[in-house]
Chains A and B, each alone.
Chain A
Amino acid sequence: MKKNLFALLVVLMLGWAAYASFFVAPTENTMGVIQRIFYLHMPSAIVAFCAFLVTFVANLLYVFRRQQRWDWLAVSAAEVGLAYITVVLITGPIWAHPVWGIWWTWDARLTSTFVLWLLYISYLLLRTLIEDPHRRALASAVYGIFAFLDVPLVHMSIRWWRTQHPQPVLMGGPGTGLDSRMKIVLLYSFIALLSLMIFLVRQRYELEAMRGQADVLRREAEAA
């Protein structure tokens, strides 16, 4: 019942965020209506970073405590984070094409984001290669800790290098900033997408816990 209520709340928040992105946020002067992709693209990127941070912390906790639940949380958040970063990699080129005249360029921001996507795909692939649950959890935890190092690199890439991707609009220093209505819509979208991330991680964690339960039952059935 609680789960259904939370799901309904998430759907309502997502609906409101989409409405606000189209009808509340003002049209940006230079890019026009295409800039509205920003309210899906940027919050998805931040939420993906949050999910990978959860994976990183859970990986560290697994390495130090060796409790299966941290491994379950790590893989759940990694998979959800991957879904979000996929959305970033799809919406980015759709926005870039009319504005830059190209779908893609290998600049520091785009390349490091693509590498991040590959790193977490590899994280999930690695888990399919190891049968023993404890070895699998440890190997993927160690790998996941190193994979997370790309997240700060992606974040800082537009500050450290000259890129085709725009400079930061929030906390980007003098000459940068957002209209107050744009900031509010951005915040709505972020909260809605973060809530969806929490919902998806919980659901994915439930699946992983059930897999653990099924493994125990399978072993019992084999032993009987």
Chain B
Amino acid sequence: MKNLDSVFAAYMVGWGVFFLYQLTVSRRVASLRDEIEQLRISLKREK
């Protein structure tokens, strides 16, 4: 099967881009959730 490696490469890179993007968004959500929690705790303490 000529060029099958190129087809696999295209799919791997394509799905890789989507996977990495999803991963970065998940990480940003998790880190922001922690920051919001910290801010809430510090605001409660000050009150």
Contact = CB atoms under 8 A, between A and B. Distances in A.
Q: Chain A: interface secondary structure?
A: helix
Contact of A200 (B11, B21, B43): B21
Contact of B25 (A22, A32, A41, A203): A203
A178 interface: no
Q: Chain B: interface secondary structure?
A: helix
Interface residues of B, number: 30
A36 B7 contact: yes
Contacts of B32: 207, 210-211, 214
A98 to B, nearest CB: 5
Nearest to A88: B14
B7 to A, nearest CB: 5
Nearest to A196: B18
Given A90-B14, A91-B14, A207-B29, A32 B36 contact: no
24 contacts: A33-B1, A33-B2, A33-B7, A37-B10, A40-B11, A83-B21, A90-B10, A91-B14, A94-B9, A196-B18, A200-B22, A200-B25, A203-B22, A203-B25, A203-B26, A204-B25, A207-B28, A210-B32, A211-B32, A214-B35, A214-B39, A217-B39, A217-B43, A221-B43
The 8 closest A-B pairs by CB, nearest first: A217-B39, A34-B3, A94-B10, A83-B21, A91-B10, A37-B10, A87-B14, A224-B46
Interface of B: 1-4, 6-7, 9-11, 13-15, 17-18, 21-22, 25-26, 28-29, 32-33, 35-36, 39-40, 42-43, 46-47
